[in-house]
Amino acid sequence: MSAFSFSLLFFISNFLFFLDFVGVHGIASLGYF
């Protein structure tokens, strides 16, 4: 169970990092136009 929760936490943190990365680059690309 702890391994499952650890992998779930790892997945969520990676997903949030991906959303933050896409959001920052989306705002930057909008600023260029």
Residue 2 lies in a domain: yes
- pTM, to two decimals: 0.55
Distance CA 14, CA 4 (A): 15
Residue 31 lies in a domain: no
Distance CA 31, CA 29 (A): 5
Half-sphere exposure of 12 (CA within 13 A, CB side): 6
How many independent structural domains does the chain possess? 1
Owning domain of residue 7: 1-26
Residue 17 lies in a domain: yes
Residue 32 lies in a domain: no
| Residues 1-33: tens digit of each pLDDT | 689 999 999 999 999 998 888 888 877 777 765
Residues 6+ apart with CB under 8 A from 17: none
